[in-house]
Amino acid sequence: MSDTVLNCGYVPLVDCAPLVIAKELGFAAEEGLSLNLLRQPSWSALRDLLAAGHLDAAQMLSPMPVAMSMGLGGMPARIDTLMVLSVNGTVFGVSNALRAELGPVLFGDADALLAALAARGGAPLRIGVPFHYSMHRLLLSYWTSAAPGLAIEEITVPPPRMADAVADGFVDAFWVGEPWGSLAVHQSVAELMMTGRDVWQFAPEKVLAARHDWVEANEDIVRRLMRAIYQAAAWLDTPRNKPLAVEILGRSEHLSLSPYLIDPALTGHLSPSPTASPAVVPRFLQFHNHAASFPWRSQAAWIADQLGADVGGMEKAKACFRSDLYRRNLSGIGADMPGASEKEEGALRVETDVASTRGHMILAPDAFFDGRTFDFSSENR
């Protein structure tokens, strides 16, 4: 029997790793799938091709399926999130000029950084983000809204050009996924101030998305695809595999990035500036552990809330995070999963033992920088 060919769209960032590993290490082939990985020049292009059926599945920014399902953006469509591909993995950096104005701020101190930026005054801060419907932009809005006096201007910059944009003074700061933050540091044009998890400790970053109709019509293929990606994510989060993962991703035609740019994200050893020693950021980029790939409906609800959803929009958002499919399709391969499909986002300050389908599992902290919690379950709304 020949393999089923699936056209999968992706954007060449370190966190497309589960797709590349599923293909290169044969996890897809084991499920009788041949992944045809198609690199996309922009998130808009990827979105259009997915919505129009030219792509079967795609890596997406986690807010994209939510926004599209709510009818927002340039191409509304019913898009499902099959699973989360990666948690965290983004960085916030500032230009050398802005850094000089901020005074001493410790790497990763979201409160002190916000206070320093707000105290600066002057013209609105121009901040580069990759896409309007991105976790980067949502975290930026959430974080800066705690400082009402801080004026910011959000500027969309294609990530590969972020380092140039900050070098040319086109933006003062940026929120971007790896390797583009490390590249800016490597080129001595910016300093990293914190990572995305300093604002939200467990933010769903990229997701595996497909059209709702296609998902409903291709039950078996969807199951095989999810299994393949699940295995790839588990492999990626096994510490002893990391050096090999860096090598495979570095050699892969799909990324065309040097290993030295891939290593920081996968190992969590980030250099905030060319002269600083690397900071160790636990769970900087998580693919599998702590139920990272589980699509919590409450994560979709948080995204929808940030996008200004009404009650109807909230329901659509929750429904597009397919925790039901995750349970149905992955229980057969022994995947452990949480007992509930929603949690109170932000409530976990430390690693916490919770009930799971196989007994109990440890969830990672998911607190927000300001300590707020979000409960979107219907009885609390």
Cα angle 260, 13, 38 (rounded to 5 degrees) comes to 125
Indicate whether 251 belongs to the interface with another protein (CB under 8 A).
Answer: no
Judged by CB under 8 A, the residue of 52, 106, 355, 362 near another protein is 52
Between strands 125-129 and 152-156, the pairing is parallel
> Which residue, 60 or 232, has its beta carbon nearer to another protein?
60
Judged by CB under 8 A, the residue of 15, 24, 80, 154 near another protein is 154
- According to DSSP, the residues that pair with 280 across neighbouring strands are 269
Tally of CB atoms within 10 A around 367: 18
Indicate whether 136 belongs to the interface with another protein (CB under 8 A).
Answer: no
Indicate whether 174 belongs to the interface with another protein (CB under 8 A).
Answer: no
Indicate whether 48 belongs to the interface with another protein (CB under 8 A).
Answer: yes
Binding letters toward another protein, positions 5-44, x by CB under 8 A: ------------------------------------xxxx
- Radius of gyration of the chain, Cα coordinates, nearest whole angstrom: 20
One-letter-per-residue 3-state SS of 191-241:
EEEEEHHHCECCCEEEEEEEEHHHHHHCHHHHHHHHHHHHHHHHHHCCHHH
Indicate whether 124 belongs to the interface with another protein (CB under 8 A).
Answer: no
Binding-site size, another protein (CB under 8 A): 24
3-state helix, strand, coil in the chain (%, to 5): 40, 25, 35
Indicate whether 131 belongs to the interface with another protein (CB under 8 A).
Answer: yes
Q: What is the closest distance, in whole angstroms, from the C-beta atom of residue 247 to another protein in the complex?
A: 16
**Interactions with another protein, residue window 301-340 (CB under 8 A):** none
> Which residue, 135 or 222, has its beta carbon nearer to another protein?
135
> Which residue, 125 or 157, has its beta carbon nearer to another protein?
157
**Interactions with another protein, residue window 57-86 (CB under 8 A):** 73-76
- Return the SS3 of 65: helix
Judged by CB under 8 A, the residue of 13, 157, 225, 262 near another protein is 157
Residue-wise burial string across 115-151, b where 16 or more C-beta atoms lie within 10 A, e elsewhere: bbbbeeeeeebbbbbbbbbbbbbbbbebbbebeeebe
Determine the Cα–Cα distance for residues 126 and 116; give it in Å rounded to an integer: 15
The phi, psi pair for 74, rounded to 5°, reads -75, -15
> Which residue, 132 or 223, has its beta carbon nearer to another protein?
132
DSSP for 249-303? HHH-TTT---HHHHHHHHHTEE-SSSSSPPEE-TTSEESSTTTTT---HHHHHHH
Judged by CB under 8 A, the residue of 4, 29, 167, 170 near another protein is 170
Q: What is the closest distance, in whole angstroms, from the C-beta atom of residue 12 to another protein in the complex?
A: 11
Q: What is the closest distance, in whole angstroms, from the C-beta atom of residue 165 to another protein in the complex?
A: 9
Residues that bind another protein (CB under 8 A): 41-45, 48-49, 52, 54, 73-76, 130-132, 154-158, 160-161, 170
